Structure 1
Amino acid sequence: MTSVRVVHRGYFPARAGAEVMAQYLAESLRRRGHRVGLYCSGMDGESARWMASAGVEVGVLPATARPGDRPDLVHAVDCVWPDYPQAALRLARAWRVPFAFTPASAPGVWRDREAVLEVARAADAVFVLTEAERRVFAGAGVAPSALHLIGQGPHLSSTAPDGAAFRARHGIDGPMVLFLGRRMRTKGYELLLRAARTVWADHPGARFVFAGPDWDEDCAEVFAAHRDPRILDLGLVDEAEKADALAACDLFCLPSTVDVFPLVFVEAWASGKPVVSAAFEGGEEVVRHGVDGLLCDRDPDAVAAAVGRLLGDPAAAAAMGAAGRARTERELGWEAVTDKVEVVYARLTAPRAGSADSTS
C-alpha cells in the first residue's frame, strides 16, 4: 500500500468544496488500506472527529521535510491560494517522491495564476474534474500525459436524511429552493436572492433556503436588502442538517458563474434533486441541460426563469432529479474517483529500473 500525504490549505472554520474533496479522498484512500496523513491549517471539530474515525492522521504542514515523515507521494488539493501547493511541491522534491496536484478551483478565483500554473507544470500528475479544465492546463503547457480526468463524488451524512423533519423544524409547507455553499458572488447567492421576487410572481409560496458560511464582506447587508419571511438563512449547518435540507427541497440552485465541478451538485443528484446553475466554463459537461438540471444565463431573470420552470412542472423536476441520481450511481462517486487516483499513484510510485528504490 502507498503512504500518502494530502495537503490542503483549508478555509477554516468553514468547510468548502475543495476542502471536503481533500477529506473525502484521504478517507477513501485510508479505507482501502493506504497510509494517509492530511496536512492542513486547522480543522473544525466535526471534520476532526470524522478524520480520526477514518484513521487519517491530521497535522500542520511542516516547514521542512523531516526524513522520518517521508511518504511515498505528496498530493496537494486546491489552488485558490498557491502557498500550500507550492509548499507541498517543495516537500515532495525534498523527499524525492512524486507530486500530484488537484487544482479543484476555477481560474477566475485563483489568487496567483502564474504560480498555480508553475505548480501544475512541475507536477508528476494533475487531476482534473472536467474536459474543459483539462484544456485549460494543456493550453498552459502541462504535459497531456500528466493530466488525468477523475470526476466528482458525493459524501452525505451516514444518517438517513429526513426531509419532512427539516420542513417541520423550519415551518416549510410549500415549494422549497435550496442554496448550499459559500456566500460569495461567484457562487451566485446574490443572483438567487434577486431572482426570488420574480419567482414569487408565479409561485408566491416558494421558500428560498440558504445554508453556508458568509464569504463576501457585505453578506449581511445583501441579505438585509432582500429580507422577506420566505427567505430562510441558516448560516453554517452540519452534515446531518445539510442532508435533511437536500431531502426536503424541490430543487437545488447554485447559480455559480466561476467553477469547475461543484461537489454539492453531485450531492443534490444523489438526493434525487434537479440542479439549476448559471453557465460557467465546462458547465455543459457538469449539468446536462434538460436531463438532470438546467443551465441559464448569468442574470437574475434567467435564474428566475429556470427556477420557475422547475417549480411549475414538478413531474419534469422529479424526472431530472431521478436522472441525476441514476447518473451518480452509475458514474459519479468516491469509489470511482479513488479507482482512478489509485491507478495513477501506482504508476508514479512503481520502482523504476536503475533507481534507488528498484529491485534487481
Structure 2
Amino acid sequence: MAADGNHVTVLTTNARRVSDFWQPSTSEAPSLPAHEVLDGVVVERLQLIHPWPAPYRFGLLRRAGLWLHLCRLPAGLVRPAQQHLSRWMPPLRGLSNALRQWGPEVDLIHADDSSWDGLLLAAATAARRYRKPLVVRPLMHLGNAWVQSHHAMAHQVSVYRDAAAVLALSQREAAAIEALGISPQRIHIIRMGVEPEIPVSPETLDTAGFRREHAVGGPIVAFVGANTYDKGAFALAEAVIQLNLEGLPLDLVCAGPQGEGLRAFLQQQPSEVQAVVRDRVHILGIVDEVTKHRLLGACNLFALPSQVDTFGIVFLEAWLHSKPVRQRWRNS
C-alpha cells in the first residue's frame, strides 16, 4: 500500500515477545523506537506497562474474567466487570489517545483476535464514538470450554453482536460464532490461502544444506508455531521421544516463539530420555520466512497437533512443499 503511494500508519506495541505483555522484557536487545518509518510505512509503538504485582497481575485479571464467564452468572451482571478487567488486556499506555487521533480519519475499524479483549473493546468504543463500521475477526480457538471461553465472554459477545461483520476462518468457527447468538447474516467465512508458488528459489531452499546445518540425517518431523502445550508442541515432543526409545529414529525440529517453555518442559523429563532430547529435538526459536520454508522443504512430515487452532495457514504452506500433514481437532 505504501509503495502505491498510500499513507500507511501501523499502530502496535513495543513488545518483542509474547511474555512482554505481562512482565518486563529480559531481552538484551535495545528497546524498539516509539516512532519510525520502515519502507514508507509509519510505525507508532505504544508502551506496555507492568503495574504491581507484575508478572502476576495479567494472569490474575485474565482468570478473574474467565471465572466470571464460567460461573454462568447473568450476562448483565458480569459484562461490566469483564469490561473493567479488559482495560489491562494488554496494559498499554496511550491507546485511548492514539484512537482519538486516528479514529476520525479512518473509514473502517477492524479488530483482530478477540482474546486480547482490551484491544477489542477499545476498537468497538472508537467505532461507536466516530460512527465507523466495525469488523471483527475473533480467531476463535475451538478446544474445550476453558479454551473457547477466551473468545466467548459476555463483553466480547456484545461486541460481535454490534459489529457490522464478523469474519470466520472456517465453517467450524462460523458455527461456533453463530452459537453465541450472532446473526448468520453478519458472519462471513474468509478462508485462508497462500500463493500457489513456493516463495523461495530452489537454490535458497537448499534442503540438504538445512539438514547439514542442523546435523539431521534421518526423517524430520517439523513443527511451526508457538512452542506451547495448547499448540501441541509438548505432546509432539513426547511422541518423538517415545518413537526413538522404541527404535524408530527421527528428529523433531520446532520453529516459532516461546521455545523457552518447551525447553523447560523437556528439561523436566526423566534422565534416561535426556540423550534423545539432546540429539533428536531441535528448537530453533523464531525464524524468518526463508528458514521456515527450508524446514518445510526438508521435513518428511509436518505436525501441528493443536487443541485450539481454528485453521493454521502453515498447513497450506506445508502442502506447497508436498508434505503430509498431521493435525488434531478437539471438540470437547
Which secondary structure does the structure 2 equivalent of 1:178 belong to?
strand
Q: CA deviation at 1:146?
A: 1.0
* Equivalent residue number for residue 214 of structure 2: 170
Q: RMSD in angstroms over aligned alpha carbons? A: 3.1
Q: 2:116 aligns with which of 44, 67, 81?
A: 81
| TM-score normalized by the length of structure 2 | 0.66
Q: Distance in 1 between matches of 2:168 and 2:2?
A: 21
Q: Distance in 2 between matches of 1:89 and 1:68?
A: 11
* Equivalent residue number for residue 256 of structure 2: 212
Q: What amino acid does structure 1 have at the position aligned with 2:301?
A: L
Q: CA deviation at 1:110?
A: 5.0
Q: Distance in 2 between matches of 1:222 and 1:67?
A: 43
Q: Deviations over 1:121-175 (max 9, x none)?
A: 1211111001111111111111211110011124799443332221111111211
Instruction: Indicate yes or no: 2:113 matched with 1:63.
Output: no
Gaps of 5+ in 2: 17-28, 47-94
- Cα gap change, 1:57/1:93 in structure 2, threshold over 3 Å: closer, same or farther? farther
Q: Distance in 2 between matches of 1:218 and 1:259?
A: 19
Instruction: Indicate yes or no: 2:38 matched with 1:52.
Output: yes
Q: Distance in 2 between matches of 1:41 and 1:198?
A: 41
Q: CA deviation at 1:200?
A: 2.8
Q: CA deviation at 1:207?
A: 1.1
Instruction: Indicate yes or no: 2:299 matched with 1:266.
Output: no
* Equivalent residue number for residue 13 of structure 1: none
* Equivalent residue number for residue 113 of structure 1: 152
Q: Distance in 2 between matches of 1:151 and 1:207?
A: 32
Q: What amino acid does structure 2 have at the position aligned with 1:223?
A: L
Counterpart contact for 1:75–1:100, Cα < 8 Å: yes
Q: Distance in 2 between matches of 1:142 and 1:34?
A: 35
Which secondary structure does the structure 1 equivalent of 2:317 belong to?
helix
Q: How many residues align?
A: 249
Question: In the TM superposition, what are the counterparts of 1:118-129 in structure 2 within 5 Å?
Answer: 118-129=158-169
Q: CA deviation at 1:109?
A: 5.7
Q: Distance in 1 between matches of 2:5 and 2:243?
A: 50
Q: Distance in 2 between matches of 1:100 and 1:263?
A: 21
- Cα gap change, 1:149/1:203 in structure 2, threshold over 3 Å: closer, same or farther? farther
With 64-73 and 232-241 compared, the bigger mean Cα shift is at: 64-73
Which secondary structure does the structure 2 equivalent of 1:183 belong to?
coil
- Cα gap change, 1:125/1:188 in structure 2, threshold over 3 Å: closer, same or farther? same
Which secondary structure does the structure 1 equivalent of 2:212 belong to?
helix
Q: CA deviation at 1:212?
A: 1.7
Q: CA deviation at 1:218?
A: 4.9
Q: 2:289 aligns with which of 219, 239, 242?
A: 239
Q: Deviations over 1:240-282 (max 9, x none)?
A: 211111111111011111120112212212222221012234x
Q: What amino acid does structure 1 have at the position aligned with 2:137?
A: T
Question: In the TM superposition, what are the counterparts of 1:243-254 in structure 2 within 5 Å?
Answer: 243-254=293-304
Instruction: Indicate yes or no: 2:74 matched with 1:41.
Output: no
Q: Deviations over 1:204-253 (max 9, x none)?
A: 331111122227x8533312225321111222222221111111111101
Counterpart contact for 1:157–1:239, Cα < 8 Å: no
Q: What amino acid does structure 2 have at the position aligned with 1:38?
A: V
% of aligned pairs identical? 31
Q: What amino acid does structure 2 have at the position aligned with 1:90?
A: T
Q: 1:132 aligns with which of 133, 153, 172?
A: 172
Q: Distance in 2 between matches of 1:250 and 1:36?
A: 41
Q: Distance in 2 between matches of 1:195 and 1:31?
A: 47
With 66-75 and 245-254 compared, the bigger mean Cα shift is at: 66-75
Counterpart contact for 1:177–1:206, Cα < 8 Å: yes
